[in-house]
Amino acid sequence: MTFPITVDGRSVPVVPGQTIGAALHAAGVRSWRSTRFGGRPRGLFCGIGVCFDCLVSVNGRAPERACLLEAAPGDEVTTS
């Protein structure tokens, strides 16, 4: 009972109601952003929308917090 979303072209399964961050983490993708200065890898940290480490772009929109955003069928996620 899952549906797929794509993350940088790769298919990731989502259980309905999961956030994009949770789906990525569950699929073994634990970092999806590089920091501006040090180029350090980042993924989930606070998990509740406080730290902004987990920013992603969904369907071409401005960066959003992957830990808050519920995944929807057909979502195209791009990371930086």
Partner 1 sequence: MTYDLVVVGGGPAGVAGALTAVRAGLRVALVDSGARLGGQYFRHCAVPGAVPGAVPGAVPGAVPGLGRFLRQARALGERADVLLRHQVWSAAREPDATLAVHGVTPSPEGERPVVLRTRRLLIATGAYDRPLPFPGWDLPGVLTAGGAQALLKGSGVVAGRRVVVSGTGPFLLPAACGLAGAGARVLGVYEAGGALGLARRPLLALDKAGEAARYAVDLARHRVPYRTRQAVVAAHGEREVEAVTVARLDKGWNIIATRVVECDTVAAGYGFVPQIELGTQLGCGTRHDVDGSQVLTVDTGQRTTVPGVWAAGEPTGVGGWRLSELEGRVAGLAVVADSRALHAGPATGTAPREGAARAVPGVLVRRRVRWRRFGEALQRAYPVKPGWQGWLRDDTLVCRCEEVPLARVREAQDLGATDARSIKLLARPGMGWCQGRVCGYALSCLAGEPPQPPRRPIAQPVTLGALSESGEASAGVTVDGTGGARADDPPSHPNPPTRRNS
Sign of CA dihedral 46, 26, 43, 19: negative
7 binds partner 1 (CB under 8 A): no
76 binds partner 1 (CB under 8 A): no
Cα–Cα separations (whole angstroms), residue 73 to 3, 18, 21, 38, 45: 6, 11, 15, 34, 25
67 binds partner 1 (CB under 8 A): yes
- Contacting positions for partner 1 (CB under 8 A): 1-2, 15-19, 22-23, 25-26, 30-31, 35-38, 40-53, 55, 59, 61-62, 64, 67-70, 72
